[in-house]
Amino acid sequence: MALKLHGAPMSTCTTRVMFCLHEKGVEFELVPVNLFTRENKNPEFVAKNPFGLVPVLEDGDLTLFESRAITAYVAEKFKDTGYDLLRHQALKEAALVKVWLEVEAQQFNPAISPIIYQYLVSPLRGGSPDQAIIDTHKEKLEAVLDIYEAKLSSTKYLAGDFYSLADLHHLSFTFYLMVTPAASLINERPHVKAWWEDISSRPASQKVMEGMTIEQN
């Protein structure tokens, strides 16, 4: 029985999981959840994820939420097929992947997420971008990306000279950053830019990005 992924094809957290599923070559069915009508807050959905957020993964009788738990589960369960996202046979490399997975979650995400929200999501909800929030978080993201620039000068990808789940987790939000004025933060840093061009041009990345258009449907 195929995996069922409940979410939306343009949602950052849903696509985080889709990138992973494509890299692993795992079959799945995308079950659309209409975020514009707040279907994610309906009782049937909340029964699957009590936090009322997409995505949710169903694997037989197992129901998972939190995109980074889902990718970790998929990468672990299917570790012997598709691309090796976790370096599971090299403990030291696997440990470094864990470090940069946490960096994305704890350092990168809190800085970039409000920028994407202000530029791209707020207008869809009838608001306009709050420049003060954007400016504060651009400053934070610049500090993070300076560290990335230094790291990517010594290794090709974040955890080492190999693409891993740690790089993959950055795809969704960075994709959207590149369509905002804040794209300069990536373009101004040569190693970060080269890294972005590399990871976004992978076939699995391209496949998912085709569906990432933010418009009301």
Partner 1 sequence: MASIKVHGNFLSTAARRVFACLYEKELDFELVPVEFKTNDHKKEPYLSLNPFGQIPAFEDGDLKMFESRAITSYIAREYGDKGTQLIYTSGKEMAEMLVWMEVEAHQYDPVVAKLVMEQQVKPLMMGLPPDAAVVEENEAKLSKVLDVYEARLAQSKYLAGDSFTLADLHHLPATANLMNTQSWKLIESRPNVSAWIADITSRPAWSKVVLALKDYYQQQQP
Q: How many CB atoms lie within 10 A of CB 62?
A: 10
**Taking the CA atoms of the chain, what radius of gyration do you get in angstroms?**
17
Count of positions on this chain that bind partner 1 (CB under 8 A): 29
Find the part of the chain contacting partner 1 (CB under 8 A) among 16-24, 95-103, 114-122, 175-183.
95-103
Element (H, E) at 198: helix 190-200
Q: Where are the beta strands (DSSP E) in 10-139?
A: 28-32, 56-59, 62-65
CB 15 within 8 A of CB 212: yes
**Cβ 56 to partner 1 shortest distance, Å:** 10
**CA separation for the pair 196, 174 (Å, rounded):** 8
**Cβ 5 to partner 1 shortest distance, Å:** 14
Q: Is 133 exposed, middle or buried (0-12, 13-18, 19+ CB in 10 A)?
A: middle
Residue 194 lies near partner 1 (rule: CB under 8 A): no
**Cβ 69 to partner 1 shortest distance, Å:** 4
Taking CB under 8 A as the criterion, the residue among 27, 44, 51, 216 binding partner 1 is 51
Task: For CA atoms 145, 120, 22, 57, give the dihedral sign.
Answer: positive
**Cβ 160 to partner 1 shortest distance, Å:** 12
Residue 99 lies near partner 1 (rule: CB under 8 A): yes
Taking CB under 8 A as the criterion, the residue among 31, 95, 124, 194 binding partner 1 is 95
**Cβ 64 to partner 1 shortest distance, Å:** 5
Q: How many CB atoms lie within 10 A of CB 89?
A: 10
Taking CB under 8 A as the criterion, the residue among 9, 73, 142, 200 binding partner 1 is 73
Taking CB under 8 A as the criterion, the residue among 43, 50, 126, 203 binding partner 1 is 50
Residue 139 lies near partner 1 (rule: CB under 8 A): no
User: Which residues, in sequence order, are CB contacts of 181 under 8 Å at separation 6+?
Assistant: 119
Taking CB under 8 A as the criterion, the residue among 68, 87, 137, 170 binding partner 1 is 68
CB 2 within 8 A of CB 61: no
Residue 154 lies near partner 1 (rule: CB under 8 A): no
Binding-site ranges for partner 1 (CB under 8 A): 50-51, 59, 62, 64-66, 68-69, 72-73, 76, 91-92, 94-96, 98-99, 101-103, 105-107, 110, 147, 150-151
